[in-house]
């Protein structure tokens, strides 16, 4: 005579399938969340890279406006750091950027972030400078955001 209920084997198989399905949903959700945070960091890092290039370009342009004898004044070779309102370069110290209450990234006030920005300047002749900006953060996976720009003395 057959009993109308589930056997122990059927119950174990059903529970295993249920646990497997829940595990797949959980790992997919966790993966999606991790990628979302990584993309958010990469986007912020790309804006910080662009800002670094723009600050260096502004220093060069200000040299022209001030009619400096050397258009590279204040743009010596080496590793540097700058913030959005810099008029000169500061020696790179691997300090994390901070974000102020106004949402501006700087080195002096606000909440410390995970981002570090390094600007390398190399002179490649009398009329050419190579500017490389790199932004890193602890979970960049070895893939920091970088940009390279050449500035010329075309004035």
Distance CA 155, CA 61 (A): 9
Residue 135 lies in a domain: yes
Give yes or no for a contact between 122 and 110, defined as CB atoms under 8 angstroms apart. no
Residue 84 lies in a domain: yes
pTM of the model: 0.77
Residue 1 lies in a domain: no
Round the average pLDDT of the chain to a whole number and report it: 89
Residue 3 lies in a domain: no
Residue 25 lies in a domain: yes
Burial 94-118 (b: 16+ CB within 10 A, else e): eeebbbeeeeebbbeebeeeebbbb
DSSP annotation of 46 reads: H
Of 17-26, 42-51, 112-121, which gets the smallest average pLDDT? Answer: 17-26
Residue 2 lies in a domain: no
| Structural domain count of the chain | 1
The domain of 92 spans: 8-152
Mean pLDDT of 45-61: 96
Rg (CA), the chain: 26
Tokens 């995970």, residue?
A: 114
């Amino acid at each position: 005579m057959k009993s109308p209920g589930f056997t122990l084997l059927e119950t174990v198989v059903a529970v295993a399938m249920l646990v497997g399905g829940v595990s797949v949903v959980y790992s997919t959700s966790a993966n999606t969340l991790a990628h979302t945070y990584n993309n958010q960091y990469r986007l912020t890092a790309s804006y910080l890279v662009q800002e670094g290039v723009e600050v260096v370009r502004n220093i060069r342009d200000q040299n022209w406006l001030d009619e400096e004898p050397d258009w590279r004044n204040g743009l010596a070779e080496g590793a540097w750091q700058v913030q959005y309102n810099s008029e000169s370069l500061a020696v790179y110290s691997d300090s994390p950027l901070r974000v102020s209450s106004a949402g501006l990234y700087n080195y002096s006030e606000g909440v410390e972030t995970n981002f570090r920005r390094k600007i390398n300047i190399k002179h490649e002749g009398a009329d050419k400078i190579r500017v490389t900006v790199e932004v890193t953060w602890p979970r960049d996976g070895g893939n920091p955001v970088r940009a390279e720009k050449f500035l010329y003395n075309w004035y």
